[in-house]
Amino acid sequence: MAKNLLIVESPAKAKTIKKYLGPDFKTMASVGHVKDLPVKRLGVNIEDGFKPEYVTIKGKAKILKDLKAAAKTVETIYLAPDPDREGEAIAWHIAKELENGGKKIYRVLFNELTARAIRAAVESPLELDLNKYRSQQARRILDRLVGYQLSPLLWTKVKRGLSAGRVQSVSVRMICDREREIQAFEPREYWSLTAHLKSEEPPPFIAKLLRYEGKKIDLETGAQTRDIVSAVETKPFDVAKVAKRKQKRNPPPPFTTSLLQQEASRRLGFSAKRTMAVAQGLYEGVELGGRGQVGLITYMRTDSFRLSAEAVSEARAFIDNTYSADYVPAKPNAFKSRKGSQEAHEAIRPTSVDLTPESVAGYLGKDQLNLYRLIWKRFVACQMSPAVLHQTQVEIAVGKAIFKASGSVVVFKGFTVLYEETTGNGGDKGGEDAQLPPLEKGQRLDLVKLEPAQHFTQPPPRYSEATLIKALEENGIGRPSTYAAILSNISNREYVVLEKKRFKPTELGFLVTDLLVGSFPDVMNTAFTAQMESNLDKIERGQVAWTRVMGDFYNAFREDLERAEKEMKGEVLTEIACPECGRLMGVKSGKNGVFLACTGFPECKHTTNFYRDEKGRIVAEKPPEIQEDAAPCESCGRPMVAKNGRFGPFLACTGYPECRSTRPLDAGGDENKGLGPTDIQCKVCGGTMMVKVNKSGQRFLACGNYPKCTHTEPLSTRVPCPNKGCDGMLVEKSSKQGRVFYACDQYPGCRFAMWDEPFDDACPECGSPVLGIKRPKGDDPFLKCRKKGCGFKKSLPSVAADIEN
């Protein structure tokens, strides 16, 4: 029987560790946190020193029961969750649950899942870190106080279902501020003048105008540029100065969490969440054939550049053997971490440099291999010699003008033989990496052409995931373990959208941000948020009491909250006058989206949609014109007008808000077919069931005797569910994105679903029940087998005719 119990977070991690410890150890997983603040209430006693109320997380009671049972059978308990604040909190909560057994409880930390690291950690166990736990607890309570008190305020003032967060809302503000910078940007015209030149030896090259009449010149107009062209185009181009110097390019540092997320975004197109999920799997272990489960990288949540001496030595030996001694610097390369970094952690690196990407490729998925290769190469490259370049700068005199050309030649590749860091910036053939022919002072050059070009200054770009992570880190907002969650949260809310992989705020994002900035200037301030992160670090180092940090924050926050409850209005004023009463209009949010409403409500109920012009100014939409042949409303007879909503075009009654009748339109503006009475009787009152459509565009059946009878049911396809033993029918449903699919009406008992419209017939080639109807645009519909690999297809009309005959 095992004498020791070692508890980690994940089952995969437990499996990897188990093979390194002998029979004296039993390894179990807590599957993440086991206790947390309650979901449906604040769970913090503010008056009693911010005392938290921890409860067992739903679904974790059995895990805790199993851990307690196992703890009774051993002599010593080792708690080995991840070596960060969240891991410390997990360890602390488990220890509290197990301490009544009177067993010895230790904390063990390892940065990598290797036999050496695990055994060393167990041989030198630690005590639980109270300060690190208190730091996590302070962060959790801060986030709870902000989220659970701001969100209900937004529900009351703006719209039900909205959310706010201490870091999330600041991130959205940064995106909104960047969008306003873009909208306010005024492009400025400027010109460039490029000379295309060649000498007796190749290659041809370019030089850009640098000075004119002895002064550095900025070309502002086309006329100014053309005057210089006229002045120099007939003059000889002579080399006036050649300057050569040796330049070194040092290797980049190893990966921290944020650098890994940025590079994976730029190079692999991974989201931060995807990067961390793949990295988690590489850290916890991958099955490598006969070697079993092996952890491939060190812990992936870190802001430190520190590397162990053993790992550095291993890398230097590998470089020497693979390349040559020239690629190994005289002293190991060291990199300075930013202020406040957790130096107890290492940078992200492979657990063994001998586990090359090529040697493990057959055991990894595509994402795993791509990310592992990136980590492995970056680590090895960071310990290689600098690249050496001979850089040449040439000044060329022509009349009163001086043109400049730059180029470089790689003399020694150094680390670039293995790894080139991406920057996300476009290159320039005329830059320092351009190739130049041999040039000497006094040499005459041939002019191929002079190329004047007009340019305009560009606004700052919208944030991508990579640049937003970089901005958050530079501003001290969040920590390595939180970046992926921050980006995932703001992407899943309706506050921002991703357009061409760039964050753009929605109107709801602008509205909520403006309201929060007006009422909670501290919480929404990037400097304040960064200072709070610094305070959490001080709590972890034992430099300040966590209750003091909480008290200082909450005293100011409570004043803002009380003021906002009285004074915050759920609208942002505009300069647009109401056409009916003359009072100002305000931007508000309702169940159908953001709109303009008269601030004189309820006396004046005028509302209208709006849009923003290219400068971000709000412009009220003109009321729709009622056509002479407008369709009448089925409910009140008034004319219907076409509008656009969040789920596409639709017809709306002009009697709104007294009459709220709507009818959907397709993308071309035609009324959707298939709506109206059916031959189905209501199961409740016997009335005729009608095909209706809800706000998200999903069709359903509703009793025609509404509102006397409110019975509804899904729209059945009358095709039986193909799953064996299921007597359900396939019904039409709609995803969150508004895409129609078909699923069994016995869900969740039966989880069958398909995207294509079902057809009640079996495939004549493979026998699979229920075919799918394909309706390609501009072509006839056809039937297709659902089974992967079966190529059966047949036109829909001919199959239908075969069945009828």
β-strand partners of 106: 78
Q: Diameter of the chain by CA atoms?
A: 101
Under DSSP, the state recorded for 786 is -
In 3D, which of 77, 92, 105 has the Cα closest to residue 136? 92
Out of 106, 133, 299, 463, the active site residue is 299
CA distance 646 to 638: 24
CA distance 752 to 770: 12
CA distance 575 to 99: 64
Cβ neighbours of 472 (radius 10 Å): 25
β-strand partners of 730: 719, 744
**Which tokens belong to 218?**
């900025």
CA distance 75 to 90: 21
CA distance 10 to 27: 11
The backbone torsions φ and ψ at residue 179, rounded to the nearest 5 degrees and listed phi first, read -65, -40
Write the CA distances from 285 to 80, 121, 279, 796, integer angstroms.
15, 18, 10, 50
In 3D, which of 338, 292, 283, 309 has the Cα closest to residue 113? 283
Element (H, E) at 117: helix 115-123
In 3D, which of 490, 495, 515 has the Cα closest to residue 506? 495
Q: Are 752 and 722 in contact (CB under 8 A)?
A: yes
Q: Are 398 and 230 in contact (CB under 8 A)?
A: no
Q: Are 434 and 204 in contact (CB under 8 A)?
A: no
**């910036």: which residue's tokens?**
425
Q: Are 426 and 432 in contact (CB under 8 A)?
A: no
Under DSSP, the state recorded for 251 is P
User: Under 8 Å CB-to-CB from 557, ≥6 apart: which residues?
Assistant: 145, 146, 520, 522, 523
E strands present in 583-721: 584-590, 593-598, 607-608, 610-612, 618-620, 640-645, 648-653, 662-664, 676-681, 688-693, 699-703, 712-720
| CA end-to-end span of the chain | 73
- Concerning whether 148 is annotated as a catalytic residue, the answer is no
Instruction: State the DSSP string of 574-606.
Output: EEEEPTTT-PEEEEEEETTEEEEEETTTTT---
CA distance 471 to 27: 40
Q: Are 90 and 61 in contact (CB under 8 A)?
A: no
Residues marked as catalytic: 299
